[in-house]
Amino acid sequence: MNPNPANLQPTRFWIALDVPDQKVAEQWMARFPNHKDYKVGMELFYRTGPDVIKKWIGEDGLSIFLDLKLHDIPRTVAAAISQLDELGVSLTTIHLMGGRAMCEAAVQARTQLSIVGVSVLTSLGNDDLTMIGISSNVADQVTRLAAIGRDTGLDGIVLSGQELIVLSPLWPGARFVVPGIRKAPDPSNDQKRVITPEKAVNYGATDLVIGRTLLQAKDPQATYQELTKLLQGGKKS
């Protein structure tokens, strides 16, 4: 059952280029020549810098999700958002724990860039929240942070699939960006809250972020075809 029938956005599949440099990234791009959506995180961005990102967008026609998880005072985050907007990236992330004023500043600074808020990292569980002084459980904390993102005009939220089934009916039309995607037999590694791609799609995910499940697969091409077929089939009732 799809708990969010009002959210009719197609599910987008971002290949997470969690690799050390431009050469390795472009080797993976060459293996999937028809794929246009890639997520670039801190590791790769800090190595390549903005010029490579601009090339991938302008010359290669790629859509780049630049996952920098911005978290600073409102003015600094707003200035960073302006730079990313000018760079031409399609999507970026800010930490909802930065608060309402920071989120509002980010929204006001962008022109075309989509911004989603990071709620609770998928590497954290209830015990981790307790350790850092947060008394609520993960689901409650994600729900609370989602309200900040929704009320300040963000485009959506980054969350694990475990909270997706609860959140998707509460924010119609939002982008629900889900990392921690694992096929059933795959190890979870350092991710504590994972979900299969099938369940994520059925629960209302609009964006799947898939890295190790694809890049570390025994047969990446076969895995890519499986994922593409799943998304072409859409959400199941």
- Look at residue 115 and tell me if it is in a domain: yes
Q: What gap in Å lies between CA 73 and CA 83, rounded to an integer? A: 16
Would you say the pTM of this structure is higher than 0.75? Answer: yes
Nearest to 63 by CA among 42, 89, 82: 89
Q: How many domains does the chain contain in total?
A: 1
- Look at residue 236 and tell me if it is in a domain: no
Looking at residue 186, what is its pLDDT? 52
Looking at residue 182, what is its pLDDT? 73
Q: Which domain holds residue 22?
A: 12-231
- Look at residue 132 and tell me if it is in a domain: yes
Contacts of 134 (CB under 8 A, 6+ apart): 141
10 Å Cβ neighbour count for 42?
Answer: 12
Where residue 115 sits, what CATH number does that domain have?
Answer: 3.20.20.70
- Look at residue 156 and tell me if it is in a domain: yes
Mean pLDDT, each 10-residue run in order, the chain (237 residues) = 47 95 98 97 97 97 98 98 97 97 98 95 87 90 95 95 86 93 59 77 93 92 92 60
Angle at 212 between CA 103 and CA 229, to 5 degrees: 90
C-alpha separations of 191 from 160, 161, 212, 233 in Å: 10, 12, 11, 27
Looking at residue 234, what is its pLDDT? 53
- Look at residue 122 and tell me if it is in a domain: yes
- Look at residue 4 and tell me if it is in a domain: no
Looking at residue 193, what is its pLDDT? 61
The residues carrying an active-site annotation are 69
- Look at residue 6 and tell me if it is in a domain: no
